[in-house]
Structure 1
Amino acid sequence: MNDGLLRFWMIYDFIYQHLTRIEYVDKENGNIFRVVFCKYRGPKLVTHDGVEINNGDPIVKLHIYNYKLTKMLKGIDNDIKLGLTALKIVKNSLPGLARYVEQHPKGENVKAIIGTTILHRGVSKLGFDVEYVPNKLRYKIKNKYLIFLLSLIHPDGRKRIKRRQEELTLKRVYISKEHLLNLYFHSKQLEEQV
């Protein structure tokens, strides 16, 4: 990515963060997640561990800190390596996310963690459920925005996007709070005690 564009994006991201209710999970230690505690708006979802998420339920809306992720992936020119590196970064950030949700004053009533992303390949192995988003204008706009960001990260840019267009579909990823905590918080505490 062009360094000037990256600096411009950093400024835009700083303004965006201050205009929204978005919270960093752990900015200082490289966690790539940001979150918003809010009410779920959408059709009923059921996690694979049986938790129902209904319209109005308290959730954590999950955002990837795209600016940080872009910097971390800069220079990787192999598609497979790019995907595996992104998945590893996400996996390494999940214990911090679980700790943040568990210890946050608003975390007690949260039912699930939900995000929308084009980086959904392999996340089911991390405990998330994956499904298509509703066919709404805001999701179409977000899909185009995220594809644009991906074209900036990858050295082949737009050529790569044209080759892989059908795979780059925005999807909803979600996990129940209890499953997240069992996988990434309680298990980490047990490992530390051993």
Structure 2
Amino acid sequence: MLASISKASAQSVWMAWESVFDQITKLRSASMKKFGICKLVIRRHHGKSVECHDGHWIHSGDWVGELHLDNRQVLELSREVGADRAALLTARMLRRSMKQISHAMETDPELAQVKALTGITLLHRGIIHGLGFELHPLDSKGFRMFSTYYLRLLLRVLHPVGRRRMKQNAPKLVPKMLMMTRQSLFSRYNKEAAA
């Protein structure tokens, strides 16, 4: 009982922090758009150039769409239907969001300059196979350490069995950069829409 109250309190604090983070994100980006369970932050790529699997390059200064899960929706789903069912529903919602983003990147002039979608995640196995993202290592040691700590804390606070999962899988929970070029996005999700 006490543990569940403590967990709920930690989750409330985290959600308050995410509201602040959203405001900070809006200030450091060109714009932020919402597509279902995803937030898409339009900003410039910083860091080393990245060669993608389809041969396209993303260079420092190129416009990218940085994907963020709406953790409030994920948390509400988890509370309503349980962690396992929530994971399945989140995956389905992510796929719908990707189709919406693909359509918007074809039709919205504000997204015309976006060359790729990016994101940072610990839980990358399902995302690369199910959604079509590539995985790239985080080159900056400082950013990699910060991302590891931040994302593990996020998992621990929001996931119902996050603490146990952390103990069992800590060595595997290493952050990676997700990448999908504009061309790969269209190739994958426009075909799905047409099917």
Q: Same fold (TM over 0.5)?
A: yes
Question: Number of matched residues?
Answer: 184
**Post-superposition offset of 1:168:** 0.7
How many Å separate the matches in 2 of 1:8 and 1:177? 36
Q: 1:34 to 1:167 in 2, by over 3 A?
A: same
Q: 1:119 to 1:100 in 2, by over 3 A?
A: farther
CA positional deviation for 1:84: 4.7
Q: Using the alignment, how far apart are the partners of 1:83 and 1:72 within structure 2?
A: 9
Post-superposition offset of 1:99: 2.5
TM-score normalised by L of structure 1: 0.80
Q: Which one-letter code corresponds to 1:87 in the other structure? A: A
What secondary structure does 1:169 align onto?
Answer: coil
Give the 3 Å change call, closer, same or farther, for CA 117–59 of structure 1 in structure 2: same
Q: 1:15 — aligned with what?
A: 20
Shift in Å, 1:186: 5.5
Matched, 1:115 2:133: no
**Identity, % of aligned pairs?**
25
Q: What CA deviation, in whole Å up to 9, does each residue of 1:144-185 have, x standing for no partner?
A: 111111112333332320110011110011001121123224
Structure-2 change in CA distance of 1:127 and 1:160 (3 Å)? closer
Give unmatched runs, 5+ long, in structure 1: none
Does structure 1 retain, via aligned residues, the 8 Å contact 2:40–2:67? yes
Q: Verify the 8 A CA contact 2:116 2:181 in the aligned structure 1.
A: yes
User: What are structure 2's unaligned runs of at least 5 residues?
Assistant: none
Q: Mark the CA change 1:24 to 1:144 in structure 2 (over 3 Å): closer, same or farther.
A: same
Higher helix proportion, which one? 2
| Residue aligned with 1:48, SS | coil
- Whole-angstrom CA distance in 2 between matches of 1:49 and 1:176: 8
- 1:73 is aligned to 2:82: no
RMSD: 2.4
Runs of 4+ in 1 over 4 A off after TM superposition: 81-86
TM-score (norm: length of structure 2): 0.80
